[in-house]
Copies of this chain bind each other. A is one copy, B any other.
Amino acid sequence: MNNINQSNKLSEQMMRGEVFSDQCPSREILKHVTNRWGGLVLVALLLGTHRFSDLRRKLSGVSEKMLAQTLQTLEADGFVMRVSYPVVPPHVEYSLTPLGAELAKQVELLVDWIEINLPRILDAQQTSGVANRDE
């Protein structure tokens, strides 16, 4: 359409054909981060170590099952560290690994942008003239 588009056709491909293509492992990671609770857990842990129940109370709406599952996925990805103290009642602490902290900061930027610009967005939704069937 325009020559700008034409000229970086190759560089586009080089720089980031990856996520666009199915099969790429980054799509999987992105899913872990962008599913219902993944991102929220990461951002919550940016504020420091939390126990399981602390997180549950903080993320209003998570079920125990989902929180456990989310934490396990993030742990398996190497983003979250789990430390369990063998006492009764159980005491388990979750924190970010250095890798996880970097990721979490990116997620936080995105979430922050949305929160900060929420008024603009809500306004744009009004004036877009396009109806959202659901929600």
- Residues of A whose CB lies within 8 Å of any CB of B are 1-2, 4-5, 8, 12, 16, 18-22, 25-26, 28-30, 33-35, 39-40, 43-44, 47-49, 51, 58-61, 72-73, 75-79, 93, 97, 99, 102-103, 106-107, 109-115, 117-118, 120-125, 127-128, 130-132, 135
What is the CB-to-nearest-CB distance from A39 to chain B, in angstroms, rounded to a whole number? Answer: 7
Complex copy number for this chain: 2
Q: Is the CB of A19 within 8 A of B115?
A: yes
Minimum CB–CB distance for A60 against chain B, Å? 5
Report Cα–Cα, A25/B107, bound state, in Å.
17
A21 to B59, CA, bound (A): 6
Residues of B within 8 A of A59 (CB): 20
Contact partner of A8 (CB less than 8 A), chosen from B22, B47, B99, B106, is: B47
Q: Given A1-B48, A19-B111, A76-B131, output 18 extra A-B contacts at Cβ < 8 Å.
A: A2-B48, A8-B47, A16-B111, A20-B40, A20-B60, A22-B61, A29-B121, A30-B111, A30-B114, A33-B110, A75-B130, A76-B125, A76-B132, A77-B128, A99-B124, A103-B113, A109-B110, A110-B110
